[in-house]
Amino acid sequence: MKKPEFPDVSVFACNGSKCGKHKDFRRYLKNELRERVHADVEIFWTECTDRCKFAPVLSLQPHNIWFYNGDESTVDYMVKTINGGG
């Protein structure tokens, strides 16, 4: 049996009812990671993290960095971190 392949970097993004309402942010996140990151990165949309008042909530792994109230500056920081400059 073949082993599953896993990305070098994972972004876990809450997709619960409040976080999921941030459609422009989600689109920006996907586009920026695809265009600017120089590593194998994958976004995993998760169920509610139960931190709704801090939406959107994200986690960058294996860096173990958590983000809340995500916006464009969050994504910029994530890109720099993944590319080794953060």
How many Å apart are CA 17 and CA 72, to the nearest integer? 20
What confidence score (pLDDT) does residue 20 get? Answer: 86
pLDDT score for 45: 95
Please give the DSSP secondary-structure letter assigned to residue 60.
E
pLDDT higher than threshold 70 for residue 72: yes
CA–CA gap between residue 38 and residue 57 (Å, rounded): 23
What pTM does this model have? 0.90
pLDDT higher than 70, residue 86: no
Taking all residues of the chain, what is their mean pLDDT, rounded to a whole number? Answer: 94
Segment 32-71, tens digit of pLDDT = 999 999 999 999 999 999 999 999 999 999 999 999 999 9
